[in-house]
Amino acid sequence: MILSRKTNCGSNHTDSRGKIIEEIIENKNIILFNNVASTRHNFSNRTFSAIDLFLAYSSISSYLT
């Protein structure tokens, strides 16, 4: 399990792991389908984030929504 933060996944900043994931997505021709909608609520600090990533190779992206 990789814990990372990325601004295009709903976080308020991108950390080093998020940058690695971003590079992999760009270099491997992968599409990130996530929008900025939150999927998790952290009750301790009352923040929302998206912890799940929906990824697919661009060659099959036209079959997905």
For residue 41, list its beta bridge partners.
Answer: 48
Percentage of the chain beyond pLDDT 90 is: 0
Q: 45 vs 10, 25, 30, 41, 60, CA distance in Å?
A: 16, 30, 32, 9, 38
**Which pLDDT belongs to residue 63?**
85
Q: Which element (helix H / strand E) includes 16? A: helix 16-27
Q: What is the pLDDT of residues 20-51, one digit of tens each?
A: 888 888 899 888 887 767 777 888 888 877 77
Output the CA torsion sign for 31, 33, 37, 43: negative
Long-range contacts made by residues 13-18, C-beta under 8 angstroms, separation at least 24? Answer: none
Q: What is the mean pLDDT of the chain?
A: 76
Does the pTM surpass 0.85? The reply is no
pLDDT at 2 over 70: no
**Which pLDDT belongs to residue 1?**
39
